[in-house]
Structure 1
Amino acid sequence: MHFPTDDAGHPLAERFRAFIRNPPFPCVGAKSALSRRRLTVMVARDIASDAEDGRIYAALLAVIYRYRSRPSLFQSFAVLFEGPARLSEAAFEDHLWTRAQSLSDRDSRLGQAYDSRVSPDPESPHFSLSFGGEAFFLLGLHPQASRPARRFEAPALVFNLHDQFERLRSEGRYEGLREAILERDIAWAGSANPMLARHGERSEACQYSGRIVQENWACPFSHRPAAGPRPDAQDRARISADMRGGAFAV
């Protein structure tokens, strides 16, 4: 299967970059990724369809390969979907977790180990998604989002490597960056996001979609380790080729 190597010129990708450049947009990490040309963008058709999950997964592996080869901070991978544009917050959340489940199941079928630094249990305060052996924090954006920072014109999923957060903590830069984002978000939205919490305080799963959820909310994700033989040499060679060649635009 042929994967496109450049979605940077797509009109939706251009508008997403403009959304991040907008001065009130609070995430200075995303702004840094964009200014340093480390924002990887892929455009897909429909967030409600699994037709391009293989392409998304290959791009995730490529992101991991590039990060491990050159572990520069402020790298981010965004999948922008052309539709559907009119989704309620609950419907968007359902599609976000359906895509996350599909990608995770693909990861398991290919014999990829879950990142041991995080938990696969969405009820755990140490939960994160894991693909290709690397933990990711997932951010959802869509037109009907209640928070301005999550209100992009099209459904979008943004994958951020957890290792970057740990490196920022080890360098003593994490808390300052976090406070700057919180202050900017309050200035734009008029209030703090009640879903935010530090990793290890409570499960980050409730933060992914951007919807305000109640205490009794149950995450629909379930890690399903593959039952059966692990991939053979040919499968592993294909995975390695996807990681090297499935690059997308920055």
Structure 2
Amino acid sequence: MSDPKAELEAFIQTTEFSCLGARAALKKGSIVHGHYAVLGDPESARAHYRDMLGYARDIRPTLSDKSFRTFVSTFEEPGGILGEEEYERLLWRHLQLIHDIDSRTYGLDEGATSDPDEPNFGFHVAGHSFFVVGMHPGSSRASRRFSRPAIAFNSLMQFMLLGDKFFSMQDAIRKRETTNNGSVNPSFTTYEYQMPSRHFSGRMTEEDWKCPFTSRHEPSSVKYTSDVMQRPTG
């Protein structure tokens, strides 16, 4: 039986993988990995949530502008190559299952909303907002074409703490994407300052795309005023 964690670490070190933050986290041993049975399955989502809950509770005091941490979940099923739309459907089903549990107890992070149509959207666990990066074997982007379904959860606070360093990292990532994958992900160049939810699955969404996620939180009173929630790039 293959080792999902070893597969993940090998993938992060490939030429095609573009995220320099994840490479830094791997080097520092700050990637937290969880492996679950089935993407989009209620039992797997409950197990995944338990692990994410502990991670979200612990991450805030450990963040700094010199650190990069991420939680990466991998899944045994579905196996084989999924189409991008099917992966997107399962990804959002899985996130909805987690959110439905979490929102019974926890609310919103400061400055964020869980409304997927808003530009300051973040996926919330334990009151901490995350930017999600979906990966799977059928991705059209080589930087997201992992050997099995996977989801990376990157703290939005982590991006904010980087300050101007973020833009240097963004430039480096996009140059790497262009060199190794032929172009920057068109989802970011087309919809960069609109809905972060468009970027979660990795596919290029249609102009009239509607995010298949329903927030259980009360609407946020915070209005979008800067690019701080738009920083993820890959």
Is TM-score (shorter-chain normalized) higher than 0.5? yes
Separation in structure 2 between the aligned mates of residue 44 and residue 196 of structure 1, nearest angstrom? 29
Instruction: Report the 3-state secondary structure (helix = DSSP H, G, I; strand = E; otherwise coil) of the residue aligned with 2:103.
Output: helix
Length, aligned pairs only = 214
1:131 is the counterpart of 2:125? yes
1:168 is the counterpart of 2:162? yes
- Asked if the contact 1:125/1:200 (under 8 Å) is kept, the reply is no
The AA in structure 2 aligned to 1:47 is L
The AA in structure 1 aligned to 2:90 is H
Separation in structure 1 between the aligned mates of residue 158 and residue 17 of structure 2, nearest angstrom? 21
Counterpart of 1:145 in structure 2 is: 139
Q: CA RMSD in A?
A: 1.8
Structure number with greater CO (CA < 8 Å, separation at least 6) is 1
- Asked if the contact 2:17/2:144 (under 8 Å) is kept, the reply is no
TM-score w.r.t. structure 2 length? 0.86
Larger Rg computed on CA atoms: 1
Counterpart of 1:230 in structure 2 is: none
- Asked if the contact 2:134/2:151 (under 8 Å) is kept, the reply is yes
- Asked if the contact 2:128/2:155 (under 8 Å) is kept, the reply is yes
TM-score w.r.t. structure 1 length? 0.81
Q: More deviation in 152-161 or 117-126?
A: 117-126
Q: CA deviation at 1:25?
A: 1.8
- Asked if the contact 1:126/1:199 (under 8 Å) is kept, the reply is no
Counterpart of 1:243 in structure 2 is: none
Counterpart of 2:22 in structure 1 is: 30
Q: CA deviation at 1:48?
A: 3.2
The AA in structure 2 aligned to 1:118 is A
- Asked if the contact 2:16/2:142 (under 8 Å) is kept, the reply is no
Separation in structure 1 between the aligned mates of residue 136 and residue 200 of structure 2, nearest angstrom? 12
Uncovered stretches (5+) of structure 2, i.e. residues with no partner: 219-234
Q: CA deviation at 1:24?
A: 3.7
Counterpart of 1:121 in structure 2 is: 115
Q: CA deviation at 1:222?
A: 1.1
Runs of 4+ in structure 1 deviating by more than 6 angstroms, as ranges, are none
Separation in structure 2 between the aligned mates of residue 70 and residue 191 of structure 1, nearest angstrom? 34
Uncovered stretches (5+) of structure 1, i.e. residues with no partner: 1-9, 227-250
1:12-38 CA distances to partner (integer Å, 9 max, x unpaired)?
110110000113421110000100000
Identity of aligned residues (%): 31
- Asked if the contact 1:126/1:200 (under 8 Å) is kept, the reply is no
1:191 is the counterpart of 2:183? yes
**From 131, 134, 148, the counterpart of 1:154:** 148
Separation in structure 2 between the aligned mates of residue 150 and residue 165 of structure 1, nearest angstrom? 20
